[in-house]
Amino acid sequence: MADEPSRPKVGVGVLIFRNQDVLVGKRKGSHGSGSYALPGGHLELGESFEQCAIREVEEETGITLRDPVFAYAVNSVFSPDVHYVTIFMRCDVEPGTEAKLMEPHKCESWMWVPWDGIPEPTFLPLQALKDSPYRPFS
Ligand code: 8DG
Ligand code: MG
Ligand code: MG
């Protein structure tokens, strides 16, 4: 077991749109600290992408998502031994929806920003999504 090579992990990032704005948070306490990322986390054993999106968003923001749908996927090599495939799920929420800071040790704050106004530095997988052909409103 000790000699097993490391392999890529699967992360799920969730695009939550409220009107034209997307929810991002400033990461704290792990890799990419200080960068802006979507809510999300690791896909757990046996989970669907939809279940992971709903669980992580509930845990991190208190928002209950209805019917998140697949949006895009990117491949991100952070360093020689940190490699993630990120599945982006998308869900549009009601205009009055607010995000709670449920894990203040992992996130400085949540903010709703326009797609073209995501602050820098941007977390690597989210930057890859921004650089991809994915367009949220077309
Ligand atoms: P978890 O243990 O609750 O599953 O994870 P977490 O505590 O929420 O950690 P995280 O760093 O937010 O997410 C785990 C990994 O998921 C992260 O290290 C890299 C990967 N990941 C991506 N894309 C995205 C993304 O867009 N947002 C978030 N939050 N994580 C992502 O590959
Ligand atoms: Mg999490
Ligand atoms: Mg997370």
Cα dist from 11 to 72, 94, 115, 131, whole Å: 12, 25, 21, 18
Q: What is the pLDDT of residues 65-91, one digit of tens each?
A: 999 999 999 999 999 999 999 999 999
Cα–Cα dist 107/69, whole Å: 24
Examine the pLDDT at 2 and tell me if it is beyond 70.
no
* ipTM of this complex: 0.90
Strands 9-18 and 36-37: unpaired
pTM of the shown model: 0.94
Q: How many whole angstroms from 56 Cα to the centroid of ligand 3?
A: 7
Q: How many whole angstroms from 60 Cα to the centroid of ligand 3?
A: 7
Examine the pLDDT at 123 and tell me if it is beyond 70.
yes
Domains, the chain, in order of start with CATH, read 9-122 (3.90.79.10)
Residues contacting ligand 1 via CB (< 6 Å): 11, 13, 30-31, 37-42, 76, 84, 86, 106, 123, 125-126
